[in-house]
Amino acid sequence: MIDNPSIKLYGFPMYTIGPHTSIAGGVHNAVIQAAELGANAFGMFTKNQRQWKTKDLEKDSIALFKSTMAEKGFMAQQVLVHDSYLINLGNPDHEKRKKSLDAFIDELRRVEQLGLSLLNFHPGSHLGLIDAKESLSLVAQNLDIALSETDHAIAVIENTAGQGTNLGSSFEELAYLFEQCTNRERIGFCIDTCHAHAAGYSLGSPEEFDTAIERFDTLIGLPRLKGMHLNDAKSDAGSHLDRHASLGMGSIGWPTFEHIASDPRFENMPLVLETVDSTLWKDEVAHLRFGGRQ
């Protein structure tokens, strides 16, 4: 059966859920793996995430990815691409920041070449060399440049756990960053549950989650939320430690994730698992999509 986010399944609302899958052997393999796991959404990289340079996407690879997407019934809005971990658009060093900007533009172009629309990224780090707001302003400036040099892809800003000098652990910082940008129509957000929990927004119950998401809505607005990363947390709320756990095996717990996967506010956006045990992905996806029904 072809999954389509515009329809209801067995009378249930459509939630698009799946893990971050591998592109080993070709970008099309991320689609195949997601389908094999019973997912109707997935995350992916478009290149090696730990290298600055990589070869361009070839026409045959692009065509195979698009045909596999169509064959397996996935649509662009069900895929949340993640950029390279090396990119830091808030780097105080001009040359290093320019290197990050060039890489980010390339990432956006690769998303567009594949017929996709969402590029998830971390805001970056001030490295202890400048004020956080000054670094966030640099991120905004570079976002404006990157979006002006690409066509349609949406830059999706992900919250962080607040480790070290990383930016974007509070919704206030994310709101400040958004306010500094000029091309806001092509900017969205992704909430990582582990990161939010570790940053101090306790998500250990559905009620606590709702309190956190209402704060996000007040500061930024839920229409700007384009996806979520569903990860349990090995550490406690407020620890600032980015340590993902499998769902139900951390300090957040299943009730919060079940709540997210049944809340109409999060229909039709990619809810992507970055949980640590890939052998559990199929069960985690089935649990969230169908309450264990297959």
pLDDT one-digit tens code per residue, 125-163: 999 999 999 999 999 999 999 999 999 999 999 999 999
Helices 28-36 + 59-72 axis angle, to 10 = 20
Residues annotated as part of the active site: 50, 82, 85, 122, 158, 192, 195, 229, 242, 244, 274
pLDDT category of residue 54 using cuts at 50, 70 and 90 = confident
Task: Name the pairing type of β-strands 154-158 and 118-121.
Answer: parallel
Report which of 280, 151, 292, 171 is spatially closest to residue 222, judged by C-alpha positions: 171
Q: Which of 123, 127, 122, 121 is nearest to 92 (CA)?
A: 127
Q: pTM of this prediction?
A: 0.94
Query: Distance between CA atoms of 215 and 267, rounded to whole angstroms?
Result: 19
Backbone angles phi, psi at 9, to 5 degrees: -110, 120
Confidence of residue 199 (pLDDT cuts 50, 70, 90): very high
DSSP 33: H
Which residue has tokens 């969230």? 288
Write down the pLDDT at residue 293.
41
Let me know if 208 is exposed, middle or buried by CB neighbors in 10 A (0-12, 13-18, 19+). middle
User: pLDDT at position 50, please?
Assistant: 80
**Domains of the chain with bracketed CATH:** 16-290 (3.20.20.150)
